[in-house]
Amino acid sequence: MESEHPKLKLISARVTNYGCFRDSTEVPIDDVTVLIAENENGKSTFLRALAWWSDNENFDEEDRWDDAEKNKDLDLVGLTFEVNKELLVELNNAGISIQPKKITIIR
């Protein structure tokens, strides 16, 4: 029987070297998350970066933070997920052990 709960739950995001962000720092994500800031402070850029993370699109150099090193691969978006018990068991059975019960994937 398939679990009703997701195996991975997004719990935070971090954007670096993307658009206006040198480093957004870790932004907590919950079932409902609200981004509040004055106009032109990166809300749309943050959301665009999250959308890019899940796309198969190549990075558009126009979105590189202005002061980031040119012609260098950069960590741009990191998403941290909480891993549920079911997936932990599957990973352990496959010989993969993660501690604590979180995983961060950076693109």
**What confidence score (pLDDT) does residue 3 get?**
56
**What confidence score (pLDDT) does residue 47 get?**
95
With a cut of 70, list the residues of the chain below it in pLDDT.
1-4
**What confidence score (pLDDT) does residue 17 get?**
95
**Sign of the C-alpha dihedral computed for residues 43, 45, 49 and 55 taken in this order:** positive
DSSP-assigned beta bridge partners for residue 9: 82
**What confidence score (pLDDT) does residue 85 get?**
87
